[in-house]
Structure 1
Amino acid sequence: MIKQATAVLGILERGLTVVAAIALFAIMALVVADVFMRYVMNSPLSFTYDLIGLYLMAGVFFLTLSDTLRVHAHVGVDILMSRAPPKGRRLSEIVTALTGLFVFVLISKVGFERALENYEQHDVLAGAIPWPTWISAALVPFGCAVLVLRLVLQLIGNVLSLVSGRDLFPLPPMTDETRSFE
C-alpha cells in the first residue's frame, strides 16, 4: 500500500514539477521579451513584473516543494546521520516528518484562509491589469498540502519500518564524506 501511495503521489509531484518548469521557462521568455521591448523598441511590456511576481514565481516555488523532498534535494544537515545506525536515522526521519507536518499543516490552513478571503473579496492587484490575487495565494496552500501528503507518507513509512524492523520505506541516501564543495 505504501508503494502504491508513493507511486501515485510521485506522479502528482512530477506533474507539478513540469508545470513549475513551464512557469520557469515563461519567466525567462518574458524577461527576455521585456528587455528586448524596453531597450530595442522603447516600449516595455507593462504586465511582466506583475505576472512574474504574482503568479509564476509562486508557482515555481510552491509547486516543487514536495517533489524536492521526494528526491531528497532539500538542504539537510547530515553530518551526524552518516555515523548513526539505521534505527537512529529512522527516528530522525520521524522527528523531521512530525516537525514538518506541524509547520506545513499550519501554513496550508492559514494560506487557504487567505486565498479564500482574497477570492470572496474579489481582491485584485492595482495596476494596468487587475490581476486577481487569490490564484497566487491559492498556490501556497496547494503546494504545502502536497508536501503534507509526502510528509504523512514518509512518517507512516518510517514508523512502520521502525516497528517491523524491515525496510518498508527507503531512507534518504547518504552523501559521500570524501566529497567536498570547497
Structure 2
Amino acid sequence: MSARHDTWLSQASRRLAGLEQLVCSVLIAAFGVLLIANVFARYVLNSPIFFASELAVYILIWMAFLAISISIHHDQHVRLTMLVGLLPTPAQRACYWLTELVCVAMLAVILWYAIGWLRSPSVGYDIAITLDWPKWHFYLIVPIFCATSIFHLIARLSDRSRTVFTLVSDED
C-alpha cells in the first residue's frame, strides 16, 4: 500500500515499529557493551561485573519480544501456509482473517492476565537478585508486547479490509 493512501492507523503502526526498532538497536548496543565490559573486567581486572549475566538475560528477553512485535508489523511472523495455499483465493483470505483474529484474541487474553499478574503482590515483592531491582520493571515487556502486537494486527487488518472492500466495490 502506498504511503499517501495509508490510514492514520497504519502510519501510527509504522511509527510504533520504528520506535520498537530503535529500542531494539539501543538494547543490542547495551548488550554488546555490557558483555565486552564484563569480559574485560573478568579477564583483565580479575573482577567480573556481578550483575552482567542477569541484566544480559533481561536485555535479550526484551529484544526478543520487541522483535516479534516488529515481525508482526511487517507481516513476517511464522505461518503454516502449505495447506492454505491449496485453497481457492476467497478461502485463503478467510483463513488469513481467521488466523489474524485468533492472534488478536490470544494476545488480548494474555494482556489481560499479564496485567493481573503484574498487579499481584508476589510480583511486587520479587527482586532481581544481583541487580537488587524490582523485577516488575523487566516483566513489563509482556503487556507492552501484547498491546503493540494487537495494535499492529488491528492496523494491518484495517488496511486489508479497506483494500478488499475497495477491490470488491471496483468490480461492481
TM-score (normalizing by structure 2): 0.81
Which of 97, 101, 120 is 1:98 aligned to? 101
Task: Write the letter of the residue equivalent to 2:17.
Answer: E
1:108–1:145 contact (8 Å) kept in structure 2: yes
Equivalent-residue separation in structure 1 for 2:6 and 2:154 (angstroms): 11
Equivalent-residue separation in structure 1 for 2:52 and 2:146 (angstroms): 26
Larger proportion of helix: 2
> Does residue 52 of the first structure (1) align with residue 53 of the second (2)?
no
Structure 1 residue matching 2:119: 3-state secondary structure: helix
Please report the RMSD computed on the Cα atoms of aligned residues, expressed in angstroms: 2.6
Distance 1:30 1:167, change over 3 A: farther
Aligned pairs, how many? 165
Equivalent-residue separation in structure 2 for 1:167 and 1:41 (angstroms): 69
Distance 1:2 1:90, change over 3 A: farther
Q: 1:74-108 CA distances to partner (integer Å, 9 max, x unpaired)?
A: 22223345554442332122111111012111111
Residue 15 of structure 2: aligned partner: 11
Matches within 5 A, 1:61-80: 61-80=64-83
Percent identical: 22
Residue 144 of structure 1: aligned partner: 146
Structure 1 residue matching 2:23: 3-state secondary structure: helix
Equivalent-residue separation in structure 1 for 2:156 and 2:63 (angstroms): 23
Residue 126 of structure 2: aligned partner: 123
User: Cα distance, 1:119 vs. partner?
Assistant: 9.0
Residue 36 of structure 2: aligned partner: 32
Q: Which runs of 5+ in 1 are unaligned?
A: 169-182
